Amino acid sequence: MTMQTNSILYSEIKKIVWAFADMVRDKGNGTVEDYAKIVLPTCLVKRTLDLQAEFNKNNGSSFFELVEMGASSDEQALSDINLKSYRFYDNNSIKENNLQPSIVLITWADLMGFQDNPNGDERQVGVGQEGSKRLMFNQVYVTKAKNFVELMFEIIEALNTTMKHVFTTFEYRQLILQKNIVPFSEFYKTCHAELSKYEFNMENISTDMFSDIYMDLMGRFASDAGKKGGEFFTPTPLVKNAWQFTDIKDYARKLISGQKTHISIGDPTSGSNTFLIYGYDLIMAECEKMEPGKVSKAVFSFYGQELKAFQYCLGLINMIFHNTIDTYNAGIEISDQNSNVITDYKNGIGRMRGQLDIVVANPPYGTKNYGIEYAQANKSKDDRWKFGVPKKAEGEYAFLMTIYDLLNKQGKAVIVMPLGTLFRDSAKEIRKHLLQEDIIEGIVTLPGNMFLTTSIPVVLWILNKDKKEADKGKVFMVNASKDFKKVGKFNNWQEQKAIQNYLERIEEVDYCGYADFATLEKNKFNLSVQRYFSKEKEKEIVDIVSLEKEIIELETNLVAKKSQMNSLISQVLALEVSDE
């Protein structure tokens, strides 16, 4: 099949990728997670091989050859080439593992043209790349792969440690070749028919477009997965808008002026890394507006921690698609997949405690047990609990205090939290201490029904360890709960007014303004924005999730008490019988 090389419309590439995803889902027999584990890595390989072929063609050689033939001793000497968009493999890995250099010339067409080799015989594959001007090595690759999936893994294993980690963790080969999640013949046919229609290179598909396709797929997986999908996906508009409350223009100005030479961004519950990635994108975009080319990618570092291996790998793929990561673990911290940021903090992102400039995050809601036993046992040794240990049902505050602990002395954070965190009586003492420390800069209530997987209303907690003089001793609140446009069954936040009023500290009756410490103290440290800024008389807000948990706990205790009482009655009756 001849690939088209004209620039591709977003709608076209979306249609192709969705057709591929539909095949895996509709003709397969796995879960939503299974088809995500097949679709995303396959698209990643297609993108990688097409970009690699484009680099080889444009530069007359592979990157491996340019270095080996003395054209450059390192990446810096290749600064005239747009290398950051094409850096896939480690030259040292190729040499140290005695790999065939011709592996860097294999194309997607070579992969699709590979004939099944059931006995695993040694076979020569003629690579489709039109030669290297330097003719450093023969244009054949020798393999014992039994099929194109094994050859695909062989290539990835050799070229890119990040993708190797993803493929291994997802059990990509096993899902297709052993577990038969999708029929092999259908998988090959669709790969060839759909993904071979276009070259997924920079000429056709920009980094921004391809990353948008990834986010579109992620949204679809989250929607299909239902409530579970919310574990790894925060809607892109909410991510971008949350970042605006950090004042990204101020960070850009400081980078341009030299007032800051480095920015460290963190997310202790990183999921698919969208907060890390869009933070970088938004700040860099502002820098480019102010002075193009002034700020380089090297001034940013990223730190995250994720509980589950699946979500962590989604984050790695996301960073590759966004061209934000070159090698595995570049600035990304991860603890063991069976640990979490509360209990395995010091061995994970906690190594950066007190050092991060910005943290933007959407921690889990309503966790059954965030790690309260650990917190209670370590409250005298771990500064995160200096304001008290959150109750078992108040896991959101455990994450909030973890984020607070990560910030440096000028650090800022924006945290997406459930509405109930503003007023739950069980966490009143922690809110009191946070206000006394004067680190809560702002609270913004958002419209409900913004997520694909839950209708729960959320708020933005904005923390600042270095508040401006005009902000000290008070909290700027915005009631943006009515700022939405209904689109289908979801509410789209119309964010412009809330962001402008917040950043410029514009006070408006019944909408936004300051609440000082005395007022908040008088209201028993209730941070419900509606109490202070609302056109309607505030009604008592019932936190359904907490109420349900409280009812369950009471019922459990009641059953235990009844059992205890019945046991005592039985003992008394037994004594009476024995006395007779």
Output the domain CATH number for residue 520: 3.40.50.150
Domain termination site, one of 173, 205, 237: 205
236 shares a domain with 100: no
132 shares a domain with 266: no
Rounded percentage of the chain residues whose pLDDT exceeds 70: 81
- Torsion 110-207-362-237 (CA) sign: negative
* Backbone φ, ψ for residue 441 (5° rounding): -85, -40
Q: What is the pLDDT of residue 334?
A: 47
Packed helices 274-290 and 248-257: angle between N→C axes, nearest 10 degrees: 50
Domain termination site, one of 149, 175, 205: 205
Given a cut of 70, is residue 84 above it in pLDDT?
no
Instruction: Report if residue 292 sits inside a domain.
Output: yes
Give the mean model confidence (pLDDT) for residues 315-341. 63
**437 neighbors 418 (Cβ within 8 angstroms):** no
pLDDT tens-place string over residues 194-212:
888 888 888 888 888 888 8
514 shares a domain with 564: no
Strand partners, 360: 414
Given a cut of 60, is residue 151 above it in pLDDT?
yes
Given a cut of 50, is residue 287 above it in pLDDT?
yes
Give 412-462 as a DSSP string. Answer: EEEEEEEGGGGT-GGGHHHHHHHHHTT-EEEEEE--S--SSS----EEEEE
Who has greater pLDDT, 508 or 165? 508
172 shares a domain with 85: yes
229 shares a domain with 151: no
561 shares a domain with 458: no
* Of 162-166, 480-484, 511-515, minimum mean pLDDT range: 162-166
pLDDT tens-place string over residues 340-397:
899 999 988 999 999 999 999 999 988 888 999 999 999 999 999 999 999 998 999 9
Instruction: Report if residue 525 sits inside a domain.
Output: yes
236 shares a domain with 201: no
Domain termination site, one of 205, 232, 251: 205
* Of 51-55, 57-61, 178-182, 467-471, minimum mean pLDDT range: 57-61
Who has greater pLDDT, 362 or 84? 362
**228 neighbors 310 (Cβ within 8 angstroms):** no
Given a cut of 90, is residue 566 above it in pLDDT?
no
Q: How many CA atoms lie within 13 A of 234 on its CB side?
A: 29
Rounded (10°) CA dihedral 575, 577, 579, 580 = 170
The whole-angstrom separation of Cα 155 and Cα 315 is: 21
Largest CA distance in the chain: 107
pLDDT tens-place string over residues 496-510:
999 999 999 999 999
566 shares a domain with 527: no
pLDDT band per the 50, 70, 90 thresholds, residue 548: low
Instruction: Report if residue 27 sits inside a domain.
Output: yes
Q: How many residues does the chain have?
A: 580
Q: What is the pLDDT of residue 136?
A: 46
Amino acid at 272: S
Question: pTM for this structure?
Answer: 0.82
What 3-state DSSP class applies to 466? coil
Q: What is the pLDDT of residue 320?
A: 81
- Total number of domains constituting the chain: 3
Burial 30-54 (b: 16+ CB within 10 A, else e): bebbbbbbbbbbbbbbbbbbbbbbb
pLDDT tens-place string over residues 429-443:
999 999 999 999 999
Q: What is the pLDDT of residue 328?
A: 35
Instruction: Report if residue 213 sits inside a domain.
Output: no
Going by their DSSP bridges, the two strands 263-267 and 123-126 should be labelled as unpaired
E strand intervals along 247-317? 263-267, 300-304
Given a cut of 80, is residue 494 above it in pLDDT?
yes
Summary mean pLDDT of the chain: 83
Instruction: Report if residue 539 sits inside a domain.
Output: no
Instruction: Report if residue 212 sits inside a domain.
Output: no
Task: Label each residue of 140-192 as H, E or C.
Answer: EEEECCCCHHHHHHHHHHHHCHHHHHHHHHHCHHHHHHHCCCCCHHHHHHHHH
555 shares a domain with 508: no
Q: What is the pLDDT of residue 82?
A: 47
Q: Which of 118-132, 290-304, 307-321, 386-400 has the highest mean pLDDT?
A: 386-400
Q: What is the DSSP letter of 259?
A: S
Amino acid at 486: K
161 shares a domain with 237: no
Q: What is the pLDDT of residue 546?
A: 61
pLDDT band per the 50, 70, 90 thresholds, residue 15: confident
Instruction: Report if residue 218 sits inside a domain.
Output: no
Given a cut of 80, is residue 577 above it in pLDDT?
no
183 shares a domain with 263: no
pLDDT band per the 50, 70, 90 thresholds, residue 91: low
Q: What is the DSSP letter of 383?
A: G
Instruction: Report if residue 537 sits inside a domain.
Output: no
Given a cut of 60, is residue 469 above it in pLDDT?
yes
Given a cut of 90, is residue 301 above it in pLDDT?
no
pLDDT tens-place string over residues 213-255:
888 888 777 777 665 555 557 888 999 999 999 999 999 999 9
Q: How many CA atoms lie within 13 A of 105 on its CB side?
A: 26
Q: What is the pLDDT of residue 126?
A: 74
Q: What is the pLDDT of residue 432?
A: 97
Question: Which range marks the domain in which residue 274 is found?
Answer: 223-532
Q: What is the pLDDT of residue 242?
A: 97
Give the mean model confidence (pLDDT) for residues 184-203. 87
Given a cut of 70, is residue 310 above it in pLDDT?
yes
Amino acid at 323: N
558 shares a domain with 422: no
The whole-angstrom separation of Cα 310 and Cα 525 is: 39
Type and span of the H or E element at 1:
none
